[in-house]
């Protein structure tokens, strides 16, 4: 099967999920000759050097000043051009904010089938099959493609290992966008000031709920996050109370995360919140209520006051790092 991997980049840097998409693409393609990737943006041509040895023999690059600011129509047109140039039968990308925006639109343009947010991917004959979390992560659905010439697949970040096989020359082929970019204008992009990984790609997260009490008290979590090289998240209740910004929200109406470690502080464990984090590999809950639902899905539960527990955790993390 000929496979094209869409590589997500921000500010001229490839996201870690881009290499995960390449690894899944290499698995489905079977050989470097059958795997290509596509990078879209402005000043991104040099990124092709970073994907050498990750299984793709060809790297399509749409590098234009018109693509400096993300625009779903322009980016989708670029990926569509790469699909048609390569003759791709399968398109793989991460279920990131941009991936969730581009891939369904691409599937519609190509009249292709689409499987989203997969946590396992296999090839059954000529069709992709996989598993995806359903009903707030309470169960998994086995899904498959049928009767479609082109298949589009999005994978959940932080699930698939990024494997560098040493194969794949990633020879660059420049492509242009067919859309009239003069009519596709992104006037402004607003983003947070944090230099830490976005929640959707973070491998460690410490989140606070309404029990944190104030925006100022979130500094306790931030200090712990700094010691652990983690990203700070929040529940919807904390965001609605003004303690945290919306870009920090984890849950059904926020971001779906899948870190190696998730520390939930002062979170009761509402269905809405657990829908966004229950697939985390290790969950540590900190709550004064021994009957809090969050303890029910936690790998380790700490019954205690977060204002006493979190500083102790921070101290221990710093000691571990020093040694």
Looking at residues 136-154, what average pLDDT do you find? Answer: 91
Range of the domain at 270: 204-322
Q: In this structure, are 175 and 37 located in the same domain? A: yes
- Looking at the structure of the chain, the number of domains it has is 2
Per the domain annotation, does 282 fall within a domain? yes
Q: In this structure, are 138 and 85 located in the same domain? A: yes
Q: Helix or strand or coil: residue 129? A: strand
pLDDT, position 139: 87
Q: In this structure, are 9 and 116 located in the same domain? A: yes
Q: In this structure, are 130 and 78 located in the same domain? A: yes
Q: In this structure, are 153 and 279 located in the same domain? A: no
**Percentage above 70 pLDDT, the chain:** 96
Per the domain annotation, does 113 fall within a domain? yes
pLDDT, position 11: 86
Chain segment 211-255, per-residue pLDDT in tens: 999 999 999 999 999 999 999 999 999 999 999 999 999 998 899
Residue 147 has pLDDT above 80, yes or no: yes
Asked if residue 241 lies in contact with residue 298, where contact means CB atoms within 8 angstroms, the answer is no
Q: In this structure, are 132 and 250 located in the same domain? A: no
Instruction: Give the whole-angstrom CA distance, residue 149 versus residue 127.
Output: 9
pLDDT, position 238: 96
Per the domain annotation, does 192 fall within a domain? no
Asked if residue 295 lies in contact with residue 279, where contact means CB atoms within 8 angstroms, the answer is no
Per the domain annotation, does 196 fall within a domain? no
Q: In this structure, are 102 and 211 located in the same domain? A: no
pLDDT, position 189: 73
Q: In this structure, are 165 and 230 located in the same domain? A: no
CA–CA distances in Å: residue 61 to residues 116, 192, 255: 24, 27, 29
Q: What's the CATH number where 275 sits? A: 3.40.50.1220
Instruction: Give the whole-angstrom CA distance, residue 135 versus residue 155.
Output: 17
Closest CA to 221 of 317, 151, 103: 317
Per the domain annotation, does 191 fall within a domain? no
Element (H, E) at 39: strand 35-41
Task: Output the six-digit token pair for 71.
Answer: 């625009």
Q: In this structure, are 107 and 249 located in the same domain? A: no
Q: What's the CATH number where 89 sits? A: 3.40.50.620
Q: Where do the H-state alpha helices sit in the chain? A: 16-29, 72-86, 97-110, 218-228, 236-240, 271-274, 293-297, 306-322
Task: Output the six-digit token pair for 17.
Answer: 């999920």
Q: In this structure, are 7 and 146 located in the same domain? A: yes
Q: In this structure, are 275 and 163 located in the same domain? A: no
Q: In this structure, are 166 and 222 located in the same domain? A: no
CB proximity list for 43: less than 8 A, separation 6 or greater: 12, 63, 68
Question: What is the distance in angstroms between the CA of the first residue and the CA of the last residue of the chain?
Answer: 49
């Amino acid at each position: 099967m000929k496979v094209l991997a869409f590589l997500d980049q921000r500010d001229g840097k490839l996201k870690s999920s881009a290499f995960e998409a390449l690894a899944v693409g290499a698995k489905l393609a079977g050989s470097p000759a059958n795997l290509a990737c596509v990078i879209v943006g402005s000043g991104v041509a040099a990124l092709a050097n970073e994907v050498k040895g990750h299984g793709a023999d060809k790297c399509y690059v749409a590098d234009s000043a018109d693509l400096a600011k993300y625009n779903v129509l322009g980016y989708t047109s670029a990926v569509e051009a790469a699909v048609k140039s390569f003759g791709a039968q399968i398109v793989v990308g991460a279920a990131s904010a941009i991936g969730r925006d581009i891939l369904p639109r691409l599937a519609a343009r190509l009249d292709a089938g689409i499987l989203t947010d997969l946590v396992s991917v296999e090839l059954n004959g000529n069709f992709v099959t996989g598993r995806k979390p359903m009903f707030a992560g309470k169960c998994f659905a086995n899904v498959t493609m049928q009767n479609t010439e082109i298949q589009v697949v999005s994978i959940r970040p932080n699930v698939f290992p990024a494997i560098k096989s040493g194969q794949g020359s990633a020879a660059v082929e420049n492509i242009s966008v067919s859309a009239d970019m003069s009519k596709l204008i992104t006037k402004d992009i607003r983003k947070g000031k944090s230099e830490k990984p976005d929640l959707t790609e973070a491998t460690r997260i410490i989140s606070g709920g309404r029990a944190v009490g104030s925006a100022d008290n979130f500094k306790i979590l931030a200090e712990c996050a700094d010691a652990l090289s983690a990203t700070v998240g929040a529940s919807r209740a904390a965001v609605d109370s003004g303690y945290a910004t919306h870009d920090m929200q984890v849950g059904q109406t926020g971001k779906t995360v899948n870190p190696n470690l998730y520390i939930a502080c002062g979170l009761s464990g509402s269905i809405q919140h657990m829908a966004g984090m229950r697939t985390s590999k290790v969950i540590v809950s900190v709550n004064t209520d021994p009957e809090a639902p969050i303890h029910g899905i936690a790998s380790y539960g700490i019954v205690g006051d977060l204002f006493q527990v979190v500083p102790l955790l921070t101290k221990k993390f710093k000691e571990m790092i020093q040694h």
